[in-house]
């Protein structure tokens, strides 16, 4: 990481924390910083991505504003995190996409929807595009051929996976050498990721707006994450039905792809809308407000993927199906395109940071026995 103002401020704050240690039982960040005497840019990026922004340390800190030291770990870590997304972006020129990220996500959405609509209308006549189609196997593919969907979907999602992998690799290298990753560390990290342990605050939850604790943020994150995974499982099961059983969409309401997609879509909607409301109403002081536009744009994009997917299910036997399907696929394409260049990268870097923390767990803290 470059020596930016955010890095210099983070170093000043964590050095004070390392002397104070009042918050060492709050989360994984404090035990990890206590293992270090000096903090390189890579160390600070690691700590920043380990921070889950629960804000417990901000409300507990006797040196937070208006104290002259102005310790504000959640905001400082959020600023370093944002810089780490730019620093590790792949290909390197893509770092600029994290500046004015809300605008980038909005433009990607507009361009993707326009592209899908143009292609769908060019394939059939505009008149046919707005007419109802009988709900028989293959009805969706009369709007957009399956091969077109497969090529665009695999290419955009495949590129996103490569870019995310390269970013995670850059992050891991910058955090410095560490012990070999073993199966136990992988298991611990997977558990921490899947349970969002660090949003649990030792059973109390996060501080959303004040010193009062709540599990709301953790539950909403779970709804969004598991909703997304169920939608992904729905797509995979649909692919299995099509490719191996010869059963073509649309499927019945009680089929596996539809049940998984419906439950996943509802969970995603609840999680994203709930987190969106929290973003707009939570205490601004521990937040890095300049990141708000990108965070909100990503939440809205995820919400629209879920809502238009549910809407498509509701209107699939009407004349609104082709237009709804094209808009839904436009949102999905936009999601794939911006995946490595949006707030979504935080899941990858945070998981990598938790894995690193699991590897370090047996190291002795400074001043330890
Ligand atoms: S956040 Fe404040 S109270 Fe907590 S360890 Fe740092 S300086 Fe101490
Ligand atoms: S905001 Fe929460 S997760 Fe981040 S350092 Fe403070 S206590 Fe730990």
Indicate whether 367 pLDDT > 60.
Answer: no
Q: 143 pLDDT band (50/70/90 cuts)? A: confident
Ligand 2 in contact with 205 (CB < 6 A)?
no
Residue 366 pLDDT:
58
Q: Dihedral sign for Cα 171, 78, 293, 232, please.
A: positive
Indicate whether 90 pLDDT > 70.
Answer: yes
Ligand 1 nearest-atom number relative to CA 58: 1
Give residue-wise pLDDT tens across range 273-310. Answer: 999 999 888 888 888 887 888 899 999 999 999 999 99
Residue 127 pLDDT:
66
Ligand 2 in contact with 51 (CB < 6 A)?
yes
CA 57 to ligand 2 center in whole angstroms: 6
What's the distance, CA 206 to chain centroid? 18
Ligand 2 in contact with 57 (CB < 6 A)?
yes
CA–CA dist 332, 309 (Å, integer): 9
Alpha-helical runs (H) found in 255-320: 256-281, 292-315
Ligand 1 nearest-atom number relative to CA 21: 5
Q: 364 pLDDT band (50/70/90 cuts)? A: low
Ligand 2 nearest-atom number relative to CA 56: 7
Residue 177 pLDDT:
83
| Residue pair 47/32 in contact by the 8 Å Cβ criterion | yes
Average pLDDT rounded to a whole number, residues 312-323: 90
CA 25 to ligand 1 center in whole angstroms: 11
Ligand 2 in contact with 54 (CB < 6 A)?
yes
Tokens of 225: 């994450």
Give residue-wise pLDDT tens across range 172-191. Answer: 999 988 888 999 999 999 99
Q: Which residues line ligand 1 (CB under 6 A)?
A: 16-17, 20-23, 57, 60-63, 71, 73
Residue nearest to atom 4 of ligand 2 (CA): 51
| Residue pair 249/242 in contact by the 8 Å Cβ criterion | yes
Place of tokens 């026995």: 369
Q: How many CA atoms lie within 13 A of 55 on its CB side?
A: 21
Average pLDDT rounded to a whole number, residues 88-96: 90
Residue 302 pLDDT:
96
Residue nearest to atom 3 of ligand 1 (CA): 61
Which ligand has the minimum distance to the alpha carbon of residue 22? Answer: 1
CA 20 to ligand 2 center in whole angstroms: 15
Give residue-wise pLDDT tens across range 144-181. Answer: 888 889 899 999 999 999 999 999 999 999 998 888 89
Backbone phi, psi, residue 206, to 5°:
-100, 170
DSSP 206: B
Average pLDDT rounded to a whole number, residues 90-110: 89
Place of tokens 């604790």: 213
Mutate to test the pocket of ligand 2, among 64, 72, 74 (most ligand atoms within 8 A of CB): 74
Alpha-helical runs (H) found in the chain: 5-20, 29-33, 41-50, 56-60, 73-88, 101-123, 126-129, 146-174, 183-195, 216-240, 256-281, 292-315, 321-338, 345-360
Mean residue pLDDT across the chain: 91
| Residue pair 118/152 in contact by the 8 Å Cβ criterion | no
Average pLDDT rounded to a whole number, residues 43-72: 95
CA–CA dist 207, 218 (Å, integer): 11
Q: 269 pLDDT band (50/70/90 cuts)? A: very high
Residue 128 pLDDT:
67
Ligand 2 in contact with 75 (CB < 6 A)?
no
CA–CA dist 153, 161 (Å, integer): 12
Ligand 2 in contact with 350 (CB < 6 A)?
no
Beta pairing partners, 206: 214
Q: 203 pLDDT band (50/70/90 cuts)? A: confident
In this structure, which long-range contacts are made by residues 72-76, counting pairs with CB atoms below 8 Å and at least 24 apart in sequence? 72/13, 72/285, 72/286, 73/13, 73/14, 73/17, 73/23, 73/29, 74/286, 74/287, 75/285, 75/286, 75/287, 75/288, 76/6, 76/9, 76/10, 76/13, 76/48
| Residue pair 163/94 in contact by the 8 Å Cβ criterion | yes
Which ligand has the minimum distance to the alpha carbon of residue 26? Answer: 2
């Amino acid at each position: 990481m470059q020596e930016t103002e955010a890095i210099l401020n983070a170093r000043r704050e964590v050095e004070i924390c390392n002397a104070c240690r009042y918050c060492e039982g709050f989360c994984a960040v404090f035990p990890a910083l206590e293992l270090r005497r000096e903090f390189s840019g890579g160390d600070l990026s690691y700590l920043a991505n380990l921070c889950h922004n629960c804000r417990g340390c901000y409300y507990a800190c006797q040196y937070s504003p208006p104290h002259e030291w102005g310790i504000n770990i959640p905001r400082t870590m959020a600023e370093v995190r944002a810089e780490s997304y730019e620093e590790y972006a792949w290909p390197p020129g893509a770092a600029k996409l994290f500046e004015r990220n809300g605008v980038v996500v909005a433009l990607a959405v507009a361009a993707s929807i326009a592209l899908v609509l143009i292609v769908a209308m060019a394939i059939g006549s505009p008149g046919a595009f707005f007419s109802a189609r009988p709900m028989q196997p293959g009805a969706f593919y009369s709007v957009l051929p399956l091969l077109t969907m497969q090529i665009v979907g695999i290419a955009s999602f495949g590129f996103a996976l490569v870019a995310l992998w390269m970013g995670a690799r850059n992050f891991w290298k910058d955090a410095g050498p560490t012990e070999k990753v073993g199966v136990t560390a992988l298991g611990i990290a997977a558990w921490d990721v899947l349970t969002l342990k660090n949003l649990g605050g030792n059973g109390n939850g996060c501080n959303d707006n004040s010193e009062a604790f709540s599990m709301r943020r953790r539950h909403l994150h779970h709804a969004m994450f598991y909703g997304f995974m169920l939608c992904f499982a729905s797509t995979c099961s649909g692919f299995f039905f099509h490719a191996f059983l010869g059963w073509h969409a649309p499927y019945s309401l009680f089929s596996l792809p539809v049940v998984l997609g419906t439950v996943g879509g509802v969970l995603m909607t609840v999680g994203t809308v709930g987190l969106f409301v929290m973003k707009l109403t939570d205490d601004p002081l521990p937040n890095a407000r300049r990141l708000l536009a990108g965070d909100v744009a990503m939440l809205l994009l995820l919400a629209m993927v879920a809502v238009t997917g549910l809407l498509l299910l509701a209107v699939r036997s009407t004349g609104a199906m082709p237009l709804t399907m094209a808009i839904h696929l436009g949102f999905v394409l936009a999601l794939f395109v911006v995946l490595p260049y949006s707030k979504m990268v935080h899941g990858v870097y945070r998981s990598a940071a938790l894995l690193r923390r699991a590897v370090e767990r047996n190291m002795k803290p400074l001043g330890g026995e």
